[in-house]
Structure 1
Amino acid sequence: MKSVVIQQPEKLVIEDRPIPQPQTGEVRVRVRRAGICGSDVHIFRGHNPFAKYPRVIGHEFFGIIDAVGEGVDTSRQGERVVIDPVVSCGHCYPCSIGRPNVCTELQVIGVHRDGGFSEYACAPTRNAYVVPDSIPEAEATMIEPFTIAANICAQLKPQPNDVALVYGAGPMGLTVIQALRGVYGVATIIVADRIPERLQMAQANGADRIIDNTHLDLAEVLKQEGIRPTLIVDAACHPSILPQAIALASPAARIGIMGFSSEPCVLNQQSITSKEISIFSSRLNSARFPQVIEWMKEKKIHPEKLITHSFPLKHVTDALVLFEQDQKTCCKVLLDFSE
């Protein structure tokens, strides 16, 4: 089989590898589609502190189960499935309270163990979620990205009367915008970004108000319009954003952080406690796949709007570079293993 392997930072090869055999409790998936994420590029460039090399990357993938390991019902063969990349121990404190995404022994498929940029991939059977026939392959590949939005929304508990501000109209921000509008019915969604084309994508995905804060002072714009956001999502994760979000937020607002920067930021404790602001962070997803599959079945979200490019496996380097460099026309890039 052919596998995309990052042998070391900046060195990507397509290797011929033996087809893996599923171990006890595992299924083997014949991969059909896989999505490129920023974390894949970070591993490629050597910027992901959790990755070990060599590594088959890819944590967003869909396929067909073609073999099962010991202890797995053989009836699973032939199922259309999407894989949850979160592999947890099941018995530590986070796991015991339903937060396997921060398991003390966490392994992420495509980061800590080999992932889905391969013609075949193995995963624990509990991580393989059945995808109904009504969801096309390309859209099924988008289930994992939407679980990231589902995870932060589960903490923020959006309400129809919220005034939401989303920083960043990249893939993460756009999935959140769709969820806020289509799932939670949030009435007002404002999006700030510095790329006009991304702001147009935000509007096409449900944003009511878009603000290019390249030259505009976001705080001044909101002040002039009398807007105090009650729900803020940081999907850009620059260290300057959280202090500004705290300052802009309404009393009793909730703020969600979807990523991380290693750079420090300075927070004013008084500005948090005086307004009793709640701040949430989110990593990966805590078993949100069934929830997102239902959203797709019910057409509450529209993943097809985010898919802008598709490449065959042999052009994976071109796909990664496009995703990394073209922020104007590119949103989600898929690898098609059927070509």
Structure 2
Amino acid sequence: MKEIVVVKPHEVEVKEVPMPKISNDYEVLVKMQSAGVCGSDFHIYHGTNPCSTYPRIPGHENAGIVAAVGDKVSKVKVGDHVIVDLIMTCGECYQCKIGRKNVCENVRVRGSGADGGWREYFTAPEAEVYKISKDVPWKDAALVEPFAIGAHCTNRGRVVADDVVFILGTGTIGSIILQSCKAKGCKTIICCDINDASLERAQKYGADYVINSKTEDVVKRVQEITKEKGVSIAFDSACFPGSLTCVMQPGIIRNAGRVVPMGFVTEPEAITQAMINQREIEIIGSRMSCYQFEPTIKHMEDHDFILDGVATTFIKFSEIDKVFDHMSHPDPAVKKMVILFDE
């Protein structure tokens, strides 16, 4: 079989290797059918992902067909369509025992700290594999993981229908957070970006107001929209140096508001205790997702999401070089790539 290995930043190899075999009674062999390309994969390729090691097979948004199962596997059978979780955990630490396995003390993440799904076959424990209806196209099945992130971060932020929401950055994750907030009944969602096409897409997904921060005064517009109150929760899905400080500005986030940053920017920001405590703002961390795959799969099977336009670019596994070309030469029209494996 073939696998894609980022040997080191900006160096990729396509390797021919033996197909993996079932090694225990509870293991599942997955034949890959589709894989999403995430911003973290860009960072792995460019050497800017602080959580990754090399050499590494990328890919944590993985969908495929069960090709073989161990003797005691009961959750899935050969031929089932499945989504594979990205996290591998110990199950024994404090975090695992309180339902926070995504920040397990010993967590390993497929496609980052462990090898991921950009290969034709790989194995996973039965507990990390989730069945999905065969009616869901492979190009959509690859989006389960990012939609699970939307479910998790909005749960972490305790989003309710009465919230006034601000989303900075309307790329893939920002668009998904938008849909997740709409699903929770939010009636006022403000999306902010520098790209008009992204903002137009956000309106299609239900944004009530859009702000182009290149041409408009963001604080002034938020104040106008909220009648000088500010928003109750802000999501930073733009994730650039300074973006967290931006959403914490007086005029954007109101007193007692919540801020959920989504990225892994390592540069320090000019945030003080006074900025947090004078208005009793909560900064709520959110990483990946936790117990959200199965409910997200159900929502996808029930057609609860608008999937059109979330992924914009579909690339055959046999033409994987195009993925890395887009990583090296970004095109604003390429908002989300999905790899489709050859039949």
Corresponding residue SS for 1:303: coil
Aligned residues between the structures? 338
Judged with a 3 Å threshold, the aligned counterparts in structure 2 of structure 1 residues 70 and 195 are, in CA distance, closer, same or farther, namely same
Tell me what 1:240 maps to.
242
Which residue type is aligned with residue 304 of structure 1?
Answer: D
1:65 aligned partner: 66
> 2:156: which partner in 1?
155
1:77-134 deviation digits (Å, cap 9, x = unpaired): 2211001111100010111111111111111111122211111011121110000233
1:243–1:42 Cα change, 3 Å: closer
Q: Secondary structure at the match of 2:147?
A: helix
Q: CA deviation at 1:64?
A: 0.7
Deviations 1:182-222 (A, max 9, x none): x2111011111112222122122221111111242211222
Q: What pairs with 1:270-285 in structure 2 (closer than 5 Å)?
A: 270-285=274-289
Q: Deviations over 1:305-331 (max 9, x none)?
A: 312111111221212332564452122
Query: Residues 72 and 33 of structure 1: is their aligned pair in 2 closer, same or farther, counting only changes over 3 Å?
Result: same
Question: Which letter does structure 1 place at the counterpart of 2:211?
Answer: I
Root mean square deviation of aligned Cα: 1.8
8 Å CA contact retained: 2:168, 2:247: no
Deviates more, 1:319-328 or 1:82-91: 319-328
Report how far residue 284 of structure 1 moved: 0.9
Normalized against structure 1, the TM-score is what? Answer: 0.94
Please point out which of 249, 255, 274 is paired with 2:253: 249
Listed one character per residue, the Cα deviations across residues 250-306 of structure 1 (whole Å, up to 9, x for unaligned) are 222221111121011122323322322222111111121011112212322122331
Residues 23 and 70 in structure 1, CA contact (< 8 A), matched pair in contact too: no
Letter in 1 for 2:284: F
TM-superposed deviation, 1:74: 8.8
The equivalences for 1:73-92 within 5 A come to 73=74, 76-92=77-93
- Which residue in 2 is equivalent to 1:53? 54
SS of aligned partner of 2:156: helix
For 2:128 and 2:67, the matched residues in 1 are separated by 15
**In structure 1, C-alpha distance between the alignment counterparts of 2:111 and 2:58, rounded to whole Å:** 4
Give the AA of the match of 2:209: R
**2-side partners of 1:315 and 1:267: how far apart?**
44
Aligned-partner SS, 1:287: coil
Aligned residue identity for 1:259: G
Q: Which amino acid aligns with 2:245?
A: P
Cα distance 1:92–1:42, how it changes in 2: closer, same or farther (>3 A)? same
Alignment match, 2:192: 192
The residue aligned with 2:231 is 229
Contact 1:323/1:330, CA 8 A, preserved across alignment? no
5 Å-filtered alignment, 1:113-132, equals 113-132=114-133
Q: State the distance in 2 between where 1:324 and 1:214 align.
A: 25
1:12 aligns with 2:12: yes
- The residue that corresponds to 2:304 in the other structure is 300
Distance 1:75 1:266, change over 3 A: closer
- Alpha-carbon distance between aligned partners in 1 of 2:8 and 2:71, rounded to the nearest angstrom: 33
* Percentage identity across paired residues of the two chains: 32
Contact kept, 8 Å, 2:318 with 2:342, in 1: the verdict is no
Q: Deviations over 1:27-66 (max 9, x none)?
A: 1100011111111121112222332222211111111111
User: Which of 275, 288, 291 does residue 292 from structure 2 map onto?
Assistant: 288
SS at match of 1:58: coil
Indicate how the Cα distance of structure 1 residues 321 and 287 shifts in structure 2: closer, same or farther if over 3 A, else same: farther
- Asked if the contact 1:10/1:45 (under 8 Å) is kept, the reply is yes
- How many Å separate the matches in 2 of 1:309 and 1:162? 33
The answer for the alignment partner of 2:318 in structure 1 is 314
In structure 2, relative to structure 1, the CA distance for the partners of 1:270 and 1:53 (3 Å cut) is: closer
Report the TM-score when normalising by structure 2.
Answer: 0.93
Say if 1:320 and 1:303 are closer, same or farther in 2 by CA, change over 3 A.
farther
Give the letter aligned to residue 38 of structure 2. Answer: C
- Equivalent position amino acid for 2:235 in 1: V
Tell me what 2:139 maps to.
138
Contact 2:240 2:265 in 1 (8 A): yes
Which residue is equivalent to 1:174? 175
Looking at secondary structure, tell me which structure has more helix per residue: 1
Counterpart secondary structure, 2:30: strand
Gaps of 5+ in 1: none
